[in-house]
Structure 1
């Protein structure tokens, strides 16, 4: 499959045209208008500092249906313990900054470039990007962020500084808000253990057609 070069026009090739790795296109920009079109059609940016902007649409797609989330007995004890407090959109900038700085096994650097960080902070100010923060003793110890369109949450990244903090954020997201689906993008054992699964991208796109244009589950920050 060819990888398509984007023009200044805000339009993408169909996600089914992505190559085997999920790479669909390159170029364009991270304007809110382009990001919203991309997410609405199951496409997201993921690239390194030295690369052009790369756009992906993996097939199959790794997702969580919130009603299928798995919470182990030990995690239920953690949630009941009161060890952590949880907030929504209290400190988006700190969450994405921590996601940018966290060291991940097998990855030499971050994929959250400064350009990406600025773009998603802007999306947060516009009411489309949201964060879940997990606190312990007044300090931020975990969290996640992503995009909300309709009843779809497109998860972007998460971090933890203490054990279980990112799991707490993810479980809170799935159990608190009436999402139809949470897009996890790429398969990971961590999220698979919480109930995420792979579905054909055709099924994912059908869900977007039904759900992404509804009223957003998380209201814009005022």
Structure 2
């Protein structure tokens, strides 16, 4: 019996030792897995950061490209719009008044071009397009006076004749070298007006001008 008890005791101790070994092995294995997961998680986090960074860069590039595209579209639209509007604009150099730059005193080049531009608009109102021929100042019609010495306002008046299209107009221009805030000259400073019938040398042509158009509402 004593021998059997010893055997049972040894067997029990052995079982306990085995159980302890299993528990230790389980704990160690779990720790290793946890460490592996932590490492894996760290790597994923780093990769995630890189991916996010790359995505951010890509987003930035995309935004940049989008902005660039917008600028290109805008530039293209702007250019297209400019061309479209320019096709309806009057080019003052196409309506030169013979010897006006020689006769006109106290009027800079810009003001002369403005007069010619307004002539172009008025001819368009009167259905004149293409070759309009010469634009000449009628003899003895040119006048220029200073109407306000304090504001340096010059009033220039003359009649223009267009023999080819058989039309004539009165030109009235108010000009000051001072800013508009000082001179008070804002609008209606250059007018190309229809003449009285008594002043027509080519006959009546159902003349139209800015004032008449605005009174009629078109």
The two structures have a TM-score, normalised by structure 1, of 0.21
Answer 1 or 2: higher relative contact order, Cα 8 Å, separation at least 6: 1
More strand by share: 1
